[in-house]
Amino acid sequence: MHIATIGKLVFKHAALVAFVLGGFAAQAQSYPERSIKMVIPFPPAGVTDIVARTMAAKLTDELGQTVVAENRAGASGAIGAEAVARSPADGYTWVMGNISTMAINQWTMAKLNYDPLKSFDPVGMVSVQPLLIAVNPAVPVASLAELVSYAKANPGKLNYGTAGTSIHLAVEFFSGLSGIKMNHIPYKGSAPAVTDLMGGQIQVLFDPFSSVYPQVASGKVRGLAITTPERSKVAPNIPTVNESGYSGVDISSWQGILVPAGTPKEIIKKINAAMNKVLASSEIAEKFAQFSAVPTPWTPEQFADYIQKEQVRWGKVAKDAGIKPE
């Protein structure tokens, strides 16, 4: 090929690249120009829903465009997550992902129509909070140690509820640690699980602190322990699992915002900056503290690294517990 022809091709290619990059830059600079949809892949009233709607309201103010929170529940968050994965990578569709959708579903679901690592670009972590272990008052135990003793004396007679794959693995992890055996009853959301705990259809519940603590505070169920190393400031009288005789337990429910893979990096940075400004506010700190959640203003890279580590961690738990994708 003639040198002049090659030169023309190189020039055209460079011009095309410059045009595309310029278009991305202009797109990011003017973003957002219309409303944004934040998909919540779980039912209303659960912790992911509460966190998402709180952030949607504040990010609407920060970004100057309405952030519309939309529940799209089912299959431990997989339905909503898949819908976002298939959306245009333009920054106008987000998902409030969590430990189930981004770190555990791949180990428990045989047919997952998205890849937690490849289908999304992490934008930022939002919050973490402990799980709370609670029992129906009819169960004759007042501590986690007593629950373990009771479960060992009555193998297979206790039913425990879970609202999502993450909670299921958390219970399996603790069951393996303590040597107990309980019957698993899955639920589509925290609200029906808490209702059945109060009604006695299940005797034990591991659930995010915010979902079950109101019933503990009212005396309708009994709180035994929380799953993070430090006690909750909201309920300082409830001991940790570590304090109850099982060291090394640190299990958190967490939430964060992700967008479809391929979203322009400048748009991701813009969303992340808005998120972290909101998360740094005293208003959010106070609101999250009401349900023992901790605002977590991370970079996209920190969030991506955390997701990868959580996948490895819970993959090992699933393997050790003999849980196979179904």
- Domains (ranges, CATH) in the chain? 27-128+255-320 (3.40.190.150), 130-226 (3.40.190.10)
| Residue from 122, 127, 196 nearest 163 by CA | 196
Q: Quick one: how far is CA 323 from the chain centroid?
A: 20
pLDDT at residue number 11: 56
Residue 41: both structure tokens together: 């892949």
Q: What is the pLDDT of residue 205?
A: 97
What's the distance, Cα to Cα, between the start and end of the chain in Å? Answer: 57
pLDDT score of 47: 86
Which residues are within 8 A (CB) of 51 and not within 5 positions of it... i.e. 6 or more apart? 96, 126, 127, 255, 288, 293
Structure tokens at 250: 């640190």
Sign (positive or negative) of CA dihedral 284, 165, 186, 137: negative
**What is the per-residue pLDDT for 21?**
52
Predicted local distance difference test score (pLDDT) of residue 2: 59
Side chain identity, residue 319: K
C-alpha 240/C-alpha 228 separation (Å) is 6
Q: What is the pLDDT at residue 105? A: 94
Among 178, 168, 190, residue whose Cα is nearest residue 48: 190
Output the six-digit token pair for 20.
Answer: 């595309």
CA distance 177 to 171: 10
Pairing of strands 93-98, 36-40: parallel
Q: What is the pLDDT of residue 61?
A: 96
The pLDDT value given to residue 326: 83
Residue 14: per-residue pLDDT: 53
| pLDDT at residue 112 in the model | 94
The DSSP annotation for 12-48 comes to HHHHHHHHHHHHHHHHHHH--SS-EEEEE-S-TTSHH
pLDDT value of position 96: 98
Q: What is the pLDDT along the chain (326 residues), one digit of tens a residue?
A: 555 565 565 555 655 555 555 555 666 789 999 999 999 999 888 889 999 999 999 999 999 999 999 999 998 899 999 999 999 999 999 999 999 999 999 999 999 999 999 999 999 999 999 999 999 999 999 999 999 999 999 998 999 999 878 889 999 999 999 999 999 999 888 889 999 999 999 999 999 998 899 999 999 999 999 999 999 989 999 999 999 999 889 999 999 999 999 999 999 999 999 999 999 999 999 999 988 899 999 999 999 999 999 999 999 999 988 888 88
DSSP helix, strand, coil percent of the chain (3-state; round to 5): 45, 20, 35
- CA-nearest of 65, 98, 104, 66 to 80 is 98
Spatial neighbors of 159 by CB under 8 A, at least 6 apart, are: 182, 183, 184, 185, 201, 202, 203, 204
pLDDT of residue 18: 53
Angle, helices 282-289 vs 47-63, to 10°: value is 170
pLDDT digits (tens, 9 = 90+) for 137-159: 999 999 999 999 999 999 989 99
Q: How far apart are CA 188 and CA 35, in angstroms?
A: 29
Please give the pLDDT value at position 278: 98
Task: Report helix, strand or coil for 276.
Answer: helix
C-alpha to C-alpha distance for 238 and 253, rounded to whole angstroms: 18
